[in-house]
Chain A
Amino acid sequence: MNVNNTSTPFDSFNARNLSPRQVSETFIPPVQFSSLYKRAHSLLIGPRGSGKTTLLKMLHPSALDNWNHELACEIRKSIDYTGIFVASDVTWGAQIGALGYGQISELSKNLLSVSAFSTNVFLSFIDSIESRLSNDTNHFKKVKLTKDQEGIFVLEFSSALKLPISIPSILSLKVALRKRLSDIFEIASKATFKAKEDRDNYISSHDFLHLHFLSVLGLGIELFDNLIDENDEKWALLFDELEIAPDIIVKELLKSLRSVNQKLLFKLSLSPYNKNIDELDDVFSAMSGQDYSSIPLWFPNKNESYRFSKELCISLIEKRIGQKVSIENMFGNSDFNYLDDEYTDENHSFSLMSQYGMNTDVDSYKKGSRIHKRFKELYLGDVSFKEYIDKKNIDLDNIEELSDTQNAQYIRKITPIVQARIFFRKSSNEKATSRSRKSRLIYTGAKSLLAVCEGNPRWLIGMMDSLLKQMSSAGTVNRIHQSNEIYKTTSRFEALLRTIPVNLGEQNKINGLLGLLELLGKYFYQDIVINSFSPSPNGSFTINQSTPKNVIDALGKALNAGAIIHIPEGKEIVIHELVGKRFRLSYMLCTNYKLPLVTLASKSLTTILESTNLYKKQSLVDNQLRIDLGN
């Protein structure tokens, strides 16, 4: 993952605005990178900030060439293809969507948007060629073209592109392709001045709009490889944010994952939820592992994210202070117990916990231990908890006498709930969503910090970047700083969620996407912290059949933003149907709603929604688009 110390925050944590070369300067390979760089088609799936762009950019020849890491040499040797990184972003998507200003037919709009997309692919191809021709450090896939060869390439390729070129140079080709993007915009714009019935003819009369990007690209690749005498070489198309591309392209590329192309590999990045891509079912019904590899970049279970986060964190610290240190020494221990009982069997989870340095020692519960004191405190202050303990005949002063199974079932499982009740019931006069920085103290300590970040490198890098600046001379970061940083990161994340446009229906009083998530958070807080003690309170939700479409759409956006986490039953990675699926709030948001960092029992979503007065049941009917008055 990318670790950059520049002072502009949006640049620091986001590979989107860095060149492949800049990305490589601080790249630390996560475990998924070894699957991605294999000579095979890949589908990279993850929410915002999960590192998709970074990973794809690292396969660009200039990134690999410049990369300086202990594994770099070995990985460079095993990559025998040239990556073509095809960028995309929200603005570009909106621009393509607006071609023709809504005044041309779908057919014409498709023609124009596919052409814009294709032109971007051709520009990216030229960019990769330039990298291979440049004189960089590690000579990764470097080649030379004579002036004559360059001329032949440019003339032939521009002819295939139907692109007039004044000087047969790569620079001139690049300039002409950039001009073509302007031409596409102009054709769309001019069409709107023509009579409605003439617009389609006018647009389709431009020959270059009918080029098929894969066949033209194939031609260019063949030509280049021929000139450098590397006819058996492969090229990898690295498509970032594929969902932003025109539908027709998305469908073609997803089908390509099942193809055997002599020259091309496809490595595509997608968000976890894609409701419009029916082809995904076909793709996933393909024999995974043979046709393509699917690479998830998120972790429903924190045991899985812990290893990656810890490695990244240690690397960040090492980069900053020049030596490896224990993150526990730097950030201290965490209050929460970290067992995801549900998703790993007892033995496996214990072995994982030990492996990752988590505390599995039964002594932690011995009389006088911190956890024992918490249990006792709650026992004395919370009648419902006392009833639970008494009913189970548990002697809190002799927990170590319980069998392993009893301990797991009655004690370890409820420890995070006990911690949350102790900590938050003391301040129960505060609202569930009070924005006090102090309320985040319970989430401090190494393991909690890593859990809160969910293995999301953007969050982790952002937080560590700031925390390491506040490190004391003894090499520690105090809990107030940690708590502040969690608060700030959550605030930024909330600001984003507040900005994602959703329409939850006029009759509802739910205030946007964040309002919906807040409603869930408050419900779980009530059940976990305020209501009578239950060893299995509700802390996750299942989207049921009767959930309104607009709520489902909003939650799809929440999933792609990393605000909710899918808890898969099987091995699903990408989903285009949310109904029947189970989710939890991201741990980052849990810190806002005073929830323990653990996966808890599930409740049907409509039951949760209907329990509040913000939600009106009649919103089952799809809502009409509301008229915007936005001053």
Chain B
Amino acid sequence: MINNIIVSDRKFDQDKIDILITACGYEQRCTEIAKEYNNIALNKLSFQYSSRNLLNYDVNLKWYISNGFTLICFEKDNSYHAIIENVCNKIDSDQVISIMVDYSSMCRNLIANLISILNKASIHRNLDVHFVYTPAEYYEPNDIQTEILISEPVIPLFSGKLMPPNMPTVALLGLGYEAERALGLMEYLEPGAIRTFFPTGADSRFDDKVKELNLDFFEFIGEKELQSYDVNKPFQLFKQLESVCYGVLQWGRPIFIPLGPKPFTICSLIVSCLFDYEPVVWRVSGGQNSLPIDRVRNGDFVWLSVRFNRQIDY
């Protein structure tokens, strides 16, 4: 089987959405996209988290309920696999199914699960998926560095194809707001080489903060192999990652480590899909001790369009 994924920066320009998928969290921004596209969505799903009725959560929940979204508790309820498949099955297999995913407030393993479901669904039909992200206004990071509960492939599907362990691992690292986490992860995973991706393009205060929070990392690793990427241009990032990954696969075992803004996560997962899940996508995650931060919309939505064409069995 070969994947037939076409990625572009095409904005959404259709008059209906077959499935609109969002997350209902505590951030203000988590209803922004839903509010704009609610009226043209035929099926609406929103993922809830089980225990975070903090900040704007109640207001967001109320909005989602009153607008007819099917609410699914991500951690407890697996039914979304079936719901998405059922919706797909109802639509004529010759039609392209239009799906919009607002991943701004989704956790990384939910995003990975969704991508795996969509990729699986594309075995029998063509999917036109618009991944949309709401950039946030500048916010200060938490002072407290939270404990790590999970450090593993984001979901088993993205654990990467087996390659001999004497080949060097190559970390494709998206830097983020988590102080010293990048350095710690490099010590933990002991990669043979590192390619670092630095997020820019939003508020320049983010850039300064990311630099400040990763000082030890830069001091140790230097700025060799450092590439910047524009958070508002995920298609360009996708092309950067695809190109680097292609090169690395010739001699090493690539591991995407998406810290920082979510567009890096989306692009990592899609590149992994594109290479038939050969690269690993790693996840580190803290627990509930991390302090919630409200993220408020800043600027235009950021689009990444992915066409999952029906897969052909050879």
| Contact of A500 with B148 at beta-carbon distance under 8 Å, contacts A181-B162, A182-B161 already known | yes
Verify A499–B184 contact, CB threshold 8 A. Answer: yes
B51 / chain A contacts, CB cutoff of 8 Å: 627
Chain A nearest Cβ from B133, distance in angstroms? 13
Verify B166–A499 contact, CB threshold 8 A. Answer: no
Verify B289–A511 contact, CB threshold 8 A. Answer: yes
Does A333 reach chain B (CB closer than 8 Å)?
no
B290 / chain A contacts, CB cutoff of 8 Å: 629-631
Chain A nearest Cβ from B111, distance in angstroms? 11
Contact residue among A124, A178, A492 (Cβ-Cβ distance under 8 Å from B220): A492
B181 / chain A contacts, CB cutoff of 8 Å: 495, 498-499
Does B219 reach chain A (CB closer than 8 Å)?
yes
Verify A91–B285 contact, CB threshold 8 A. Answer: no
Contact residue among B166, B180, B220, B286 (Cβ-Cβ distance under 8 Å from A488): B220
| Contact of A488 with B216 at beta-carbon distance under 8 Å, contacts A89-B169, A182-B161, A499-B185 already known | yes
| Contact of A626 with B288 at beta-carbon distance under 8 Å, contacts A10-B192, A513-B147 already known | yes
Chain A nearest Cβ from B292, distance in angstroms? 9
Contact residue among A7, A90, A182, A515 (Cβ-Cβ distance under 8 Å from B162): A182
Verify B162–A492 contact, CB threshold 8 A. Answer: no
Looking at A35-43, A95-103, A212-220, A533-541, the stretch in contact with chain B turns out to be: A95-103
Does A420 reach chain B (CB closer than 8 Å)?
no
Verify A504–B164 contact, CB threshold 8 A. Answer: no
Verify A102–B156 contact, CB threshold 8 A. Answer: yes
Q: How many Å lie between the Cα of A120 and that of B153 in the bound state?
A: 21
A631 / chain B contacts, CB cutoff of 8 Å: 105, 107, 290
Contact residue among A90, A181, A498, A511 (Cβ-Cβ distance under 8 Å from B189): A90
Does B160 reach chain A (CB closer than 8 Å)?
yes
Does B221 reach chain A (CB closer than 8 Å)?
yes
Q: How many Å lie between the Cα of A313 and that of B253 in the bound state?
A: 34
Contact residue among A95, A178, A496, A506 (Cβ-Cβ distance under 8 Å from B184): A496
Q: How many Å lie between the Cα of A497 and that of B148 in the bound state?
A: 10
Does B209 reach chain A (CB closer than 8 Å)?
no
Verify A628–B162 contact, CB threshold 8 A. Answer: no
Of residues A120, A506, A510, A630, which shows the largest number of chain B Cβ atoms within 10 Å of its Cβ? A630
Contact residue among A87, A91, A496, A514 (Cβ-Cβ distance under 8 Å from B280): A91
Does B194 reach chain A (CB closer than 8 Å)?
yes
Does A501 reach chain B (CB closer than 8 Å)?
yes
Q: Mark B253-293, 1 if CB is under 8 A from A, else 0.
A: 10100000000000000000000010010011111111000
Q: How many Å lie between the Cα of A177 and that of B280 in the bound state?
A: 21
Verify B183–A630 contact, CB threshold 8 A. Answer: no
Q: Mark B37-50, 1 if CB is under 8 A from A, else 0.
A: 00000000000011
Does B152 reach chain A (CB closer than 8 Å)?
yes
Looking at A11-19, A148-156, A469-477, the stretch in contact with chain B turns out to be: A11-19
Verify B183–A492 contact, CB threshold 8 A. Answer: yes
Contact residue among B105, B149, B160, B168 (Cβ-Cβ distance under 8 Å from A95): B160
A388 / chain B contacts, CB cutoff of 8 Å: none
Does A127 reach chain B (CB closer than 8 Å)?
yes
Verify A495–B153 contact, CB threshold 8 A. Answer: no
Does A349 reach chain B (CB closer than 8 Å)?
no
Of residues B150, B156, B191, B224, which shows the largest number of chain A Cβ atoms within 10 Å of its Cβ? B156
Contact residue among B149, B156, B190, B193 (Cβ-Cβ distance under 8 Å from A628): B149
A91 / chain B contacts, CB cutoff of 8 Å: 160, 165, 169, 189, 253, 255, 280
B52 / chain A contacts, CB cutoff of 8 Å: 629
Does A343 reach chain B (CB closer than 8 Å)?
no
B162 / chain A contacts, CB cutoff of 8 Å: 95-96, 116, 181-182, 184-185
Q: How many Å lie between the Cα of A92 and that of B51 in the bound state?
A: 34
Contact residue among B75, B147, B255 (Cβ-Cβ distance under 8 Å from A511): B147
Verify A178–B285 contact, CB threshold 8 A. Answer: no
B253 / chain A contacts, CB cutoff of 8 Å: 91
B152 / chain A contacts, CB cutoff of 8 Å: 94, 98, 501
In the complex, the chain A residue whose C-beta lies closest to that of B252 is A17
Does A355 reach chain B (CB closer than 8 Å)?
no
Q: How many Å lie between the Cα of A357 and that of B159 in the bound state?
A: 52
Verify A181–B216 contact, CB threshold 8 A. Answer: no
Q: How many Å lie between the Cα of A365 and that of B222 in the bound state?
A: 46
Q: How many Å lie between the Cα of A189 and that of B161 in the bound state?
A: 10
Q: How many Å lie between the Cα of A178 and that of B290 in the bound state?
A: 42
Q: Mark A87-128, 1 if CB is under 8 A from B, else 0.
A: 111111011111011100000000000001000100110010
Does A256 reach chain B (CB closer than 8 Å)?
no
Does B163 reach chain A (CB closer than 8 Å)?
yes
24 A-B pairs (CB sep. < 8 Å)? A8-B221, A14-B190, A16-B190, A90-B188, A91-B169, A94-B153, A95-B159, A120-B164, A181-B163, A185-B161, A491-B183, A492-B183, A492-B220, A495-B183, A498-B148, A499-B148, A499-B151, A500-B188, A501-B150, A501-B151, A509-B289, A626-B287, A630-B286, A631-B107
Rank and list the top 9 A-B pairs by shortest CB-CB distance, nearest first: A512-B147, A630-B285, A499-B184, A98-B159, A495-B184, A17-B192, A496-B187, A101-B156, A98-B156
Identify the B interface with A (CB < 8 A): 49-52, 75, 105, 107-109, 144-153, 155-157, 159-166, 168-169, 180-181, 183-194, 216, 219-222, 224, 253, 255, 277, 280, 283-290
